[in-house]
């Protein structure tokens, strides 16, 4: 008994240190980003990043807003497509599919989640983009970015939703059945509300991945810095911007790329802050 307590205490200590280190890493990343981008943040007014003509760091124009919009458009487009598809898949696995089909289907989704993003990017570049190009050139576009991202976040949302739905206590479902609810009535009135938190978490995870996804989007989205007017216009995301230019950037150019990293970080922080706010409101 005594030894058990001792090891428990020891483990708690170790876990605490581990958790603190993990939190510290995030803080360090933020400090590093600020430090590296300081040369331009201190010498340029912040409004330059919003009001400049365009993004041509070698000609001293640093507008980041088209890329912010590109990031937001690709991510929200992908979420818009992925959420209904994923929820349908999860509900299908849990409530509708016969057991063996459900298992096979789930395996397939798990397989999809294991494919590295660069494979999606390569497929997009060699298959999807030429296909869209036949329809409406140049093919490398917002649409291609959204489709590739959708496929990448689909498994995340499906699997977390599945887990949340499967964790709904059987009791609740049986009670609902005893009340004479139809299957859809039970799903809508009992299962979905009970699994809501888990599903939301999955969506947030997926959103964060979509915002930060780099290689696949870089390969298919065309990377032209502009506000897209249609789905067929090329866009550049903040993450793709960093990947495209960092290796060749020096001095101010390099520092401005760190500013775009900082902006991406702030975007993701704002997202998680928003979620926190929603949670609080729901519990209040």
For the record, the structure tokens of 84 come out as: 């209904």
Q: Is 180 left (phi over 0), alpha (psi -120 to 50) or beta?
A: left
Q: How buried is 172 (Cβ within 10 angstroms: 0-12 exposed, 13-18 middle, 19+ buried)? A: middle
Q: Which of 9, 56, 183, 196 binds other proteins (CB under 8 A)?
A: 56
130: contact with other proteins by CB under 8 A:
yes
Q: Which of 43, 54, 197, 272 binds other proteins (CB under 8 A)?
A: 54
CA–CA–CA angle 89, 205, 90 (5° rounding): 10
Nearer to other proteins, 54 or 175 (CB): 54
Binding mask 188-227 for other proteins (x = CB under 8 A): ------------------------------xx--xxx---
Nearer to other proteins, 224 or 268 (CB): 224
Q: How many of the chain's residues bind other proteins (CB under 8 A)?
A: 38
| CA distances in angstroms from 86 to 74, 204, 234, listed in the order given | 18, 13, 27
Binding mask 143-182 for other proteins (x = CB under 8 A): ----------------------------------------
CA-only gyration radius of the chain, Å: 23
Which residue, among 273, 258, 281, has the nearest Cα to 34 in the 3D structure? 258
Residue 264 CB, shortest distance to other proteins, in Å, is 17
Q: Which of 22, 46, 47, 59 binds other proteins (CB under 8 A)?
A: 59
Nearer to other proteins, 126 or 175 (CB): 126
Quick one: CA torsion of 247, 269, 40, 255, rounded to 10 degrees? -10
Residue 244 CB, shortest distance to other proteins, in Å, is 4
Q: Which of 192, 194, 244, 267 binds other proteins (CB under 8 A)?
A: 244
- Residue whose entry in the numeric block shows the structure tokens 């993450």: 239
| CA distances in angstroms from 74 to 54, 143, 207, 228, listed in the order given | 20, 8, 10, 10
Q: Which of 12, 14, 111, 270 binds other proteins (CB under 8 A)?
A: 14
Task: Return residues touching other proteins (CB under 8 A).
Answer: 4, 7-8, 10-11, 14, 53-59, 61, 125-126, 129-130, 133, 137-140, 218-219, 222-224, 234, 236, 243-245, 247-250, 253
């Amino acid at each position: 008994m005594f030894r058990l307590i001792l090891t428990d205490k020891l483990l708690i200590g170790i876990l605490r240190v581990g958790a603190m280190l993990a939190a510290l890493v995030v803080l360090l990343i933020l400090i590093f980003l600020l430090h590296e981008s300081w040369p331009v943040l201190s010498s340029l007014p912040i409004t330059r990043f919003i009001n400049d003509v365009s993004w041509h760091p070698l000609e001293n124009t640093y507008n980041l807003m088209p890329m912010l919009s590109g990031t937001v458009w690709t991510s929200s487009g992908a979420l818009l497509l992925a959420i209904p598809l994923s929820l349908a898949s999860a509900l299908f696995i849990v409530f509708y599919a016969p057991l063996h089909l459900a298992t096979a289907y789930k395996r397939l989704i798990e397989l999809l989640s294991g494919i590295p993003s660069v494979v999606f990017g390569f497929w997009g570049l060699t298959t999807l983009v030429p296909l869209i190009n036949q329809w409406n050139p140049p093919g490398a576009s917002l649409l291609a970015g959204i489709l590739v991202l959708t496929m990448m976040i689909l498994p995340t949302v499906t699997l977390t939703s599945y887990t949340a739905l499967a964790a709904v206590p059987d009791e609740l479902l049986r009670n609902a059945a005893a009340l004479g609810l139809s299957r859809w009535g039970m799903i809508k009135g009992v299962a979905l509300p009970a699994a809501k938190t888990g599903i939301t978490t999955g969506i947030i995870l997926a959103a964060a991945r979509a915002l930060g996804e780099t290689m696949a989007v870089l390969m298919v989205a065309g990377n032209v810095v502009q506000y897209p007017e249609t789905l067929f216009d090329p866009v550049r995301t903040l993450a793709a911007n960093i990947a495209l230019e960092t290796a060749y950037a020096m001095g101010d150019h390099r520092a401005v790329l760190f500013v775009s990293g900082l902006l991406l970080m702030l975007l993701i922080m704002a997202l998680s802050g928003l979620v926190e706010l929603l949670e609080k409101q729901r519990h209040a």
